[in-house]
Amino acid sequence: MRPGPIRLILRIAYFLPLLPLLPLPYWIGTKPGAQRRLIRNLDDVTNALISGKPVWMAGDLRPVKCAWMMRMPAGKEVLIVGGSRAIRISADWFQPRSAYNAALFAGSLEDIVSTVQLFLETGKLPRAIIFELNPTLTRLSSQSAGGPLEAYLSHALMRYRLVPSREILHDLYSWQELDWAVRPWPAPVWSLSSEIKDSILVLPDGTATNAPENPNPAPRDVEAAVAAMLRDPDVSYLRWRTQPRPSEFNLKLLGRLLDDLQLHGVQVVVLLIPLNPAVYDLYTQRGGYDETWIRREMEMRGIQIVGSYSPTRTHATDGDFVDDVHPRPALVRRLLRDAGIIQ
């Protein structure tokens, strides 16, 4: 072998002992003392939410929700996880049980695994989890990933003895993620008294809407907007909505998560929220929203499924939606009530 390649191999070998140290900042950053330092810039907004005040804020919800979950004095009986289709599920529906909505805009399986790990490490695992399941188990590829929850994902993958996929590995050990693990998180732009441009309205129970000025548009306006979207669909969005099956890694990760929850005695309820009838045939005929594999996986574990992606099976109409896939809260409440999950 020529000297050049030999020197290159030797230089790489010098760094091999450092590889086991890569996860170290992620472990340190989730210890109680480090947590208080990391989230100190979010004290004002989380204090407002803890005191029962709604807030308007701009940007990603992950830091605020993560900080609030870290500060939560005790666990809730019911935890809601998932994406934007579950983010308006109110804690009030579950009374007299306490509940918190940890769903996120652009939420993914990675976020859910991270959230469960956070509650496990802080001793706040709920008695029940309402798991809104996106059949792709991923974010839309154009949406940003990562943030303060990623440290908990690293812990969970180690516990599950799973080697991260290439995409997750890239997110976990990027400089951006290292920054989240060691430096105080930046405070969001937020307000108590007035709406902020492009704001999200966040309530103390974790529910949120990214259209606070008009959270319940008129059905005719929804119909017109969906029709316009179908005439000129975004290619990447349509490809994501019609992805036929999750990756093998995500299927394995989902299985480990469900087994983990059942091992800890947590009741899991999988929530399938229907699509707007105007788009159901388009998305399903292209391979999307296939719930066959979901029902098979849950049946194997004895996990209850509430609802269906099919608007026909759930008796959903165009008027039950605010766009092509996002339901009005009344539809989701009906599904949970009919299944006996809430009163």
The mean predicted confidence, pLDDT, of the chain is: 87
120 occurs within a structural domain: yes
* Residues 117-129, mean pLDDT to the nearest whole number: 95
Dist CA 315 CA 78 (whole Å): 26
Structural domain includes residue 68: yes
15 within a domain of the structure (yes/no): no
Per the domain annotation, does 59 fall within a domain?
A: yes
Domain with 259, as residue range(s), is 20-338
| % of the chain surpassing 90 pLDDT | 64
pLDDT category at 54 given cuts 50, 70, 90 is very high
CA 168-199-48 angle, to 5 degrees, is 90
Using alpha carbons, select from 126, 48, 51, 49 the residue that is nearest to residue 81.
Answer: 126
Confidence check: pLDDT of 25 > 60: no
Asked if the structure places residue 45 within a domain, the reply is yes
Identify which has the larger pLDDT, 225 or 166: 225
- Least trusted range by pLDDT, from 170-179, 284-293, 317-326: 170-179
Q: Which of 139, 64, 80 is nearest to 107 (CA)?
A: 139
pLDDT at residue 27 in the model: 56
Q: What pLDDT shows up at residue 10?
A: 47
Please report the pLDDT score of residue 16 as a whole number.
44
Q: How many domains does the chain have?
A: 1
Q: What is the pLDDT of residues 173-223, one digit of tens each?
A: 666 666 777 788 898 999 998 778 888 999 999 999 988 888 899 999 999
- How far apart CA 66 and CA 80 sit, in angstroms, is 14
Cα–Cα distance, 64 to 79 (Å, whole number): 17
Are residues 324 and 278 in contact, defined by beta-carbon separation less than 8 angstroms? yes
Asked if the structure places residue 168 within a domain, the reply is yes
Q: Is residue 250 part of a domain?
A: yes
Is residue 343 a part of any domain in this protein?
Answer: no
Structure tokens at 186: 């930046």
Record the pTM: 0.88
